[in-house]
């Protein structure tokens, strides 16, 4: 690890000499190793504290590399490496590739990751006939999804335009990791899919749609040559799924009803990822010809799970985990790209943090908090019902 830290400093010196980046922007250290055994369980993880420090300000892409490195020391020894990477340099799956290569280098092995495809090679592949056919199928899927989806419209009474125009609310909940894990085990789906189903259900109730649409960022690594690429390889995906209870158990299935919704969301997400490789200008032309105004809200509601650890956690009924989450305002902005409503999910120590950024011309600040609490309540209530019906899960 010491050799790796020295190598990082050497690389930083090269970057500083080549393009003027400053070492203090790239490499920083902090005292503190792994939390001692038997220590205060509520004490903040030093790595998490350092990660928040590294992510506290936006990357200045003209003045610094898209990577910040932090080292945690226990005495003279480096015990942990913390990386903050710009979204313009890597997506989550790209970070997994980079982490595997990093571990190999730290342990003195040759990296297993193959040389990634270069942009010119990828462009040539995307211009090939097989790729064009794949794009055509994806565009057809998008247009069919948008044409068949019921109307989505936020009630006028919940808008409350402010300046800045976009507000972001955050709900930090210690009850959610266990609740989401319970539902993931019951449904056989991922924790991401459980959260997607909950957001879709609340969004459907908000917009009056029994089958709402949500936009996803889909990392397109299902085929070569993208699997070993560290840089961002993603395009927008769209999905729509039925959020109503199964017909055979109208309103009486409790947690089982929501488990059925989770499984529908899982199937819909597979379709979204399968059709997230396309010629974007061709897609936009197709949407415009099909009447883009009707489907505007279908294409401006987003869900993005930005957690690194998505493994199901055990549910602990009662105790400190059972209370409602802590709400706060995270930030305000005049710009939010092409999103009216955007849900993001983050790790936050022993809690899950869900944020909702909304255009106040569509969803006002007061409703932002209630929507987030609706998501939390749906997950905790259905997890409790599922656990009561099925007993404890291993």
- Confidence band for 52, pLDDT divided at 50, 70 and 90: confident
CATH 3.30.559.30 in the chain, residue ranges: 120-390
The mean pLDDT of the chain is 81
pLDDT at residue 366 above 70?
A: yes
- Please tell me the least confidently modeled range out of 194-198, 204-208, 291-295: 291-295
For residue 312, CA distances in Å to 166, 171, 186, 372, 376 come to 32, 19, 11, 21, 16
Segment 135-150 mean pLDDT:
96
- Please tell me the least confidently modeled range out of 108-112, 123-127, 151-155, 343-347: 108-112
The first and second tokens of residue 4, run together, are 């790796």
Cα separation, 266 vs 173, whole angstroms: 24
The first and second tokens of residue 105, run together, are 């280098």
Strand partners, 234: 219
CB 33 within 8 A of CB 79: yes
Segment 373-377 mean pLDDT:
97
pLDDT at residue 42 above 70?
A: no
301-357 pLDDT, tens digit per residue, is 999 998 877 777 776 654 445 678 999 998 888 877 789 999 999 988 789 999 999
* Highest CATH level, class, for 120-390: alpha beta
Closest residue by Cα to residue 339 from 312, 314, 308, 362: 362
pLDDT at residue 282 above 60?
A: yes
- Please tell me the least confidently modeled range out of 41-45, 147-151, 192-196: 41-45
SS3 letters across the chain: CHHHHHHHHHHHHHHHHHHCCCHHHCEEEEECCCCCCCCCCCCCCHHHHHHHHHCCCCCCCCCCCCEEEEEEEECCEEEEEEEEECCCCCCHHHHHHHHHHHHHHHCCCCCCCCCCCCHHHHHHHHCCHHHHHHHHHHHHHHHHHHHHCCCCCCCHHHCCCCCCCEEEEEEEECCHHHHHHHHHHHHCCCHHHHHHHHHHHHHHHHHCCCCCEEEEEEECCCCCCCCCCCCCCEEEEEEECCCCCCCCCCCCCCHHHHHHHHHHHHHHHHHHHHCCCCCHHHHHHHHHHCCCCCCCHHHCEEEEECCCCCCCCCCCCCHHHCCCCEEEEEEEECCCCCCCEEEEEEEECCEEEEEEEEECCCCCHHHHHHHHHHHHHHHHHHHHHHHHHHCCCC
Segment 281-299 mean pLDDT:
91
Cα separation, 52 vs 9, whole angstroms: 22
- Confidence band for 151, pLDDT divided at 50, 70 and 90: very high
pTM confidence score: 0.75
pLDDT at residue 278 above 60?
A: yes
pLDDT for res 222? 63
Q: In what order do the strands lie in the sheet with 351-359?
A: 234-240, 213-219, 301-305, 341-348, 351-359, 166-173, 326-333
57-115 pLDDT, tens digit per residue, is 888 888 888 888 888 888 888 888 888 888 777 777 777 777 888 788 778 887 665 66
Torsion sign (Cα): 251, 255, 258, 264: negative
pLDDT for res 12? 45
More confident residue, 141 or 319: 141
């Amino acid at each position: 690890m010491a050799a790796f830290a020295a190598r990082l400093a050497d690389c930083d010196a090269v970057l500083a000499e080549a393009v003027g980046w400053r070492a203090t922007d790239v490499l920083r250290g902090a005292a503190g190793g792994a939390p001692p055994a038997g220590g205060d369980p509520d004490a903040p993880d030093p790595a998490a504290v350092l990660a928040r420090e590294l992510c506290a300000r936006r990357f200045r892409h003209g003045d610094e590399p898209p990577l910040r490195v932090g080292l945690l020391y226990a005495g003279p020894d480096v015990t942990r490496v913390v990386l903050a990477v710009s979204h313009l340099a890597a997506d989550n799956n790209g970070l997994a590739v980079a982490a595997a290569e990093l571990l190999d280098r730290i342990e003195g092995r040759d990296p297993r990751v193959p040389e990634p495809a270069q942009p010119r090679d990828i462009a040539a592949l995307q211009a090939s006939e097989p790729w064009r056919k794949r794009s055509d199928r994806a565009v057809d899927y998008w247009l069919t999804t948008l044409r068949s989806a019921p109307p989505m419209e936020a009630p006028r009474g919940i808008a409350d335009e402010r300046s800045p125009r976009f507000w972001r609310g955050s709900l930090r909940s210690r009850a959610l990791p266990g609740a989401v894990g319970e539902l993931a085990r019951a449904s056989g789906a991922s924790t991401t899919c459980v959260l997607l189903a909950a957001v879709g259900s609340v969004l459907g109730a908000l917009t009056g749609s029994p089958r709402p649409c949500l936009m996803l960022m889909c990392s397109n690594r299902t085929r070569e040559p993208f699997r070993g690429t560290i840089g961002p390889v993603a395009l927008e995906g769209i999905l729509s799924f039925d959020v109503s209870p199964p017909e055979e158990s109208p309103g009486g299935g409790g947690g089982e009803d929501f488990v059925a919704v989770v499984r529908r969301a899982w199937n819909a997400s597979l379709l979204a990822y399968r059709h997230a490789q396309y010629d974007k200008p061709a897609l936009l032309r197709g949407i415009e010809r099909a009447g883009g105004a009707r489907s505007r809200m279908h294409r401006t509601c987003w869900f993005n799970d930005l957690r690194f650890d998505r493994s199901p956690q055990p549910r602990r009924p009662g105790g400190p985990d059972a209370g409602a989450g802590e709400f706060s305002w995270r930030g305000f902005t005049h710009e939010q790209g092409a999103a009216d409503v955007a849900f993001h999910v983050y790790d936050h120590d022993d809690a899950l943090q869900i944020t909702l950024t909304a255009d106040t011309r569509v969803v006002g600040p007061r409703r932002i908090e209630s929507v987030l609490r609706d998501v939390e309540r749906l997950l905790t209530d259905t997890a409790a019902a599922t656990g009561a019906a099925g007993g404890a899960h291993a």
